């Protein structure tokens, strides 16, 4: 059996990486080269990339303002309650997730810290301006990372007394992101629809307040 796997990997490594435009050979038993396999593992797509803080910032501000404006609304109260219960006690599908989630509780991460990030990630996804979210699974990963990365990234002391880094397993990120989509997806989509509608209205208000009307092309031609 072990020989079969070794033999498979040996043959696999001779094949080209499946990511578009990549001329590297495949890595181990992956369909991608080492670099694209790593990206796929971190972001859910071989073309995925980290979402920069500054990219998310305006969307985060919009989500925070929205939650503040509607604080106490039953949908928001319910979403916060579900999210807090998930952070506090799951249920989690995998033992790895079960093991990782107490870290969020250790750093006293609350649903109030996480929810704006989730709405902001949906807003960013729907804006269509983020290349990091151009693949179906990347939203799942971005949401999972948004939850799990709410704790400081500095190394922590593991059970064996040695410092460990907070590398996230793809399975855990996928599970947490999947939970968000399943349980809070509708809420986040509704919230981002409302935010988009509000900003469109604001834009229209600015437009009708701005005076005078611009000339149409025909009028402009007439005036010449
Ligand atoms: Zn590649």
Q: Assess whether 91 and 197 both reside in one domain.
A: yes
Q: Assess whether 39 and 93 both reside in one domain.
A: no
Q: What is the pLDDT of residue 153?
A: 62
Structural domain total, the chain: 2
H helix runs in 128-163, sequence order: 136-148
Task: State in Å: Cα 121 to ligand 1 middle.
Answer: 27
Task: State in Å: Cα 28 to ligand 1 middle.
Answer: 12
User: Which protein residues have their CB within 5 A of the ion that is ligand 1?
Assistant: 17, 19, 22, 24, 33, 36
Which residues on adjacent β-strands are paired with residue 25? Answer: 16
Task: State in Å: Cα 14 to ligand 1 middle.
Answer: 13
* Tens-binned pLDDT, residue by residue, of the chain (224 aa): 567 889 999 999 999 999 999 999 999 999 999 999 999 988 888 988 888 889 999 999 999 999 999 999 999 999 999 999 999 999 999 999 999 899 899 999 999 999 999 999 999 998 887 777 877 789 999 999 999 988 766 666 777 887 766 668 899 999 999 999 999 999 999 999 999 888 887 777 777 777 666 667 777 777 66
Q: Whole-angstrom Cα distance, residue 16 to residue 209?
A: 59
Q: Assess whether 68 and 125 both reside in one domain.
A: yes
Q: What does pTM read for this prediction? A: 0.80
Q: Assess whether 33 and 59 both reside in one domain.
A: no
Token reading at 213: 């009307």
Cα angle at 189 between 173 and 71, to 5 degrees?
100
Q: Assess whether 91 and 200 both reside in one domain.
A: yes
Task: State in Å: Cα 30 to ligand 1 middle.
Answer: 10
Q: Assess whether 90 and 35 both reside in one domain.
A: no
Q: Whole-angstrom Cα distance, residue 78 to residue 80?
A: 5
Token reading at 115: 């929810």
Q: Assess whether 148 and 75 both reside in one domain.
A: yes
Question: The domain containing residue 104 runs over which residues?
Answer: 53-156+163-209
């Amino acid at each position: 059996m072990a020989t079969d796997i070794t033999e498979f990997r040996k043959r696999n490594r001779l094949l080209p990486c499946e990511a578009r435009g990549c001329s590297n050979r495949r890595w181990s038993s992956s369909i991608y080269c080492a670099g694209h396999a790593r990206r796929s593992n971190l972001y859910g797509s071989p073309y995925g990339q980290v979402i920069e803080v500054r990219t998310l910032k305006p969307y985060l501000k919009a989500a925070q303002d929205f939650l503040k404006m509607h604080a106490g609304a039953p949908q928001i109260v319910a979403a916060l309650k579900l999210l807090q219960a998930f952070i506090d006690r799951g249920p989690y599908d995998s033992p790895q997730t079960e093991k990782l989630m107490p870290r969020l509780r250790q750093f006293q991460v609350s649903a109030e810290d996480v929810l704006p990030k989730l709405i902001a990630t949906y807003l960013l996804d729907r804006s269509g301006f983020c290349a990091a979210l151009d693949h179906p699974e990347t939203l799942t990963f971005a949401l999972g990372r948004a939850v799990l990365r709410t704790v400081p990234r500095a190394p922590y002391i593991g059970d064996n007394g040695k410092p460990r880094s907070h590398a996230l397993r793809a399975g855990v990120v996928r599970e947490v992101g999947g939970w968000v989509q399943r349980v809070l997806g509708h809420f986040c989509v509704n919230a981002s629809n409302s935010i988009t509608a509000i900003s469109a209205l604001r834009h229209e208000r600015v437009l009708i307040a701005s005076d005078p009307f611009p000339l149409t092309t025909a009028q402009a031609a007439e005036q010449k």
